[in-house]
Amino acid sequence: MLDIKTIRERTEDVKRGALNKGSDVDIDRILELDTRRRELLQSSEVLRQRRNEVSGAIQTMSSADRQAAIEEVRQIKVQLPTVEEALKVVEEEYRALMYKVPQIPADDAPVGKSEHDNVVLRHEGGQPRVFDFEPRDHEALGELLGILDKERAVKFAGARSYILRGAGALLELAVMRLAIDIVIERGFTPILGPLMVNYMALEGTGFFPAGEEDTYRLERDEKYLIGTSEVHLVAMHANEIIDEASLPLLYTGYSPCFRREAGSYGRDTRGVYRVHQFSKVEQVVICKDDPAQSQEMHHMLLKNAELVLQALELPYRVSAACTGDMGQGKVRMFEVETWMPSRQAYCETHSCSELHDFQARRLGIRYRDADNNIRTCFTLNNTAAASPRILIPILEHYQDEDGSVRVPKALVPYMNGITRILPGGAVER
């Protein structure tokens, strides 16, 4: 959510940002409602003040004046509910529209409509592997190795479900633990939080109202399954005033995540690129409202994700997300895309976002500065590792002609010394 003062003072910037993000929100209507809201607030305050003044003075009035005062109070009691009801109607529309206003993208964010307009900044990790045999994709490898079973999962859980077995399960856990250890070493505090949350947590972090169709709702309990631990890592500080000396707060969360993948029917049905349930290690920063510090934190989060991919020795590239691909709340976003041989493309495995006060303003996350002023925090987030998507480049990049897969050196200590996964589920140490 943007500060209404920003919308008033930077109206054209806000309109341009909404246009560049493809957001259909009526900024002029918001300003009209804002003006009407302030008028009604003032009217209600004046009426209350006058009512209280007259009511308090009635006992000291003469008989003649007292009757006039009583009549005035009666009239105010009739008028006030009408004003308050009008204010309620205006505020409901105002609030609904305010939640649709996107964050203003940074001046250096590429302008574009979709991921095809993202700008590649650099390639890292060397060249994609050139095979001297016909490589298998990760689904074929997983079946041959006995570590991936989609058929049985679909039987009882439906489409976009999967089972990881044996060394496959260990491989996912190994990647998650590697990522956790890397970010903990960089000063992050690990958090395990709820997977079921209230509407306010998703609205506050910017996933609602736009993302409701992609979120699993538990109607009986009015709860929602999270799509990222970012939700509880940020929302746990809702309506708090944080001590400035404790900022920035650095958190890492590990959790199962859930997405309905609404609108993706028929897309990426082979393999485990697009699934309903996955595991993720997330990074979150809550910092002061300092754009320079925010940018510093953004690059630090990006570096952490890159450290994971460098440890896995996988080719990847970093792109600047364009305005149409970065999402409603983001000022800047980096996409980290890892090479997937079966797709013959760099595909997104990490997303690194800078949101300024967008989430914190919705959630009331503030801090008290050195001058005793209350200020709204900035937030940022980034994926450290997400599985099973990260398993795709690992399995495909490290395969050999016989279908066996070498375990990346960085993962061997987390795999109980397993160095190779063999067809049929056997392993080498």
**Residue 298: pLDDT over 80:** yes
Active site residue 353: no
Hey, what amino acid is at 327? G
Same domain, 51 and 156: no
From 40, 73, 98, give the residue that closes a domain.
98
DSSP string for 265-331: TTSS-STTSS-SEEEEEEEEEEE-S-HHHHHHHHHHHHHHHHHHHHHHT--EEEEEPPTTTS-TT-S
Of the three residues 98, 128, 154, the one that is the final residue of a domain is 98
* Residue range(s) defining the domain that contains residue 27: 4-98
For residues 277 and 406, membership in a common domain is answered with yes
3-state secondary structure of 8: helix
* Residue in 306, 348, 354, 396 annotated catalytic: 348
pLDDT tens digits, one per residue of 74-121: 899 999 999 999 999 999 999 999 999 999 999 999 999 999 999 999
Tens of pLDDT, residue by residue over 27-54, are 999 999 999 999 999 999 999 998 888 8
Domain end residue (candidates: 67, 98, 129)? 98
CATH number of 35's domain: 1.10.287.40
Task: Catalogue the long-range contacts made by 413-419 (C-beta closer than 8 Å, 24 or more residues apart).
Answer: 414/170, 414/173, 414/174, 414/177, 414/178, 415/167, 415/170, 415/171, 415/174, 416/170, 418/167, 418/170
What band does 267 get if pLDDT is binned at 50, 70 and 90?
Answer: confident
Same domain, 201 and 257: yes
Which of 50, 129, 274, 406 does the annotation list as catalytic? 274
In the numeric block, which tokens belong to residue 182? 């890397």
Selection from 251, 322, 241, 240 nearest residue 286 by Cα: 251
Say which of 294, 387, 389, 396 is annotated catalytic.
389
Report the CATH number at residue 361: 3.30.930.10
Q: Are residues 383 and 415 in the same domain?
A: yes
Number of domains into which the chain is organized: 2
Is 123 in the same domain as 191? yes
Same-domain check for residues 45 and 156: no
- Confirm whether 270 is a catalytic residue: no
Can you give the pLDDT at residue 169?
97
* Angle made by CA atoms 18, 23, 27, in degrees to the nearest 5: 55
- 344 and 424 in a single domain? The answer is yes
Q: Are residues 38 and 123 in the same domain?
A: no
Same domain, residue pair 194 and 63: no
Supply the pTM of this predicted model.
Answer: 0.93
Do 323 and 359 sit in the same domain of this protein?
yes
- Of 229, 255, 351, 387, which is the active-site residue? 351
Please indicate whether residue 348 is annotated as part of the active site. yes
Across the range 210-215, mean pLDDT stands at 92
How far is the C-alpha of 231 from the C-alpha of 181, rounded, in Å?
Answer: 21
48 in catalytic set: no
Residues 47 and 174 occupy one common structural domain: no
Active site residue 429: no
C-alpha 229, offset from chain centre: 9
325 and 386 belong to one structural domain: yes
Task: Specify if 11 maps to a domain.
Answer: yes
Q: What is the pLDDT of residue 18?
A: 96
pLDDT at 54: 84
